[in-house]
Amino acid sequence: MGFGRVVRVAGAAGVAVAMSGLLTGCEVKGRFVATCHGVGDPTGPQGPGHVEVDLEVPPRVAPGATFTIRVDALVGYPDQAGPGQDQAGTLSVTGPVTPSGPIFVDGPYPEALTFTATGQPGDEITVTAIDGRSRYIGPGFDLTFDCDTTAGHVTDIPIAAP
DSSP letter at 18? Answer: H
**For residue 81, what is the enclosing H or E element?**
none
Confidence bin at 48 (pLDDT 50/70/90) = very high
User: Confidence class of residue 98 from pLDDT cuts 50, 70 and 90?
Assistant: very high
State the fold for domain 3-158.
Answer: Immunoglobulin-like (2.60.40)
Q: Where are the domains of the chain?
A: 3-158
For residue 4, CA distances in Å to 33, 61, 131, 138, 154 come to 11, 21, 15, 32, 6
Task: Please tell me the pTM assigned to this model.
Answer: 0.82
| % of the chain exceeding 70 in pLDDT | 83
Least confident of 15-29, 87-101, 114-128, 138-152: 15-29
pLDDT for res 61 = 98
The residues facing 5 across adjacent strands are: 29
Calculate ∠ Cα 156-28-95, nearest 5°.
Answer: 20
CB 67 within 8 A of CB 117: yes
DSSP letters for 108-154: SSSEEEEEEE-S-TT-EEEEEEEEEEEEEEETTEEEEEEEE-S--EE
Going by C-alpha positions, the residue among 80, 77, 121, 126 that lies closest to residue 103 is 126
Amino acid identity, residue 3? Answer: F
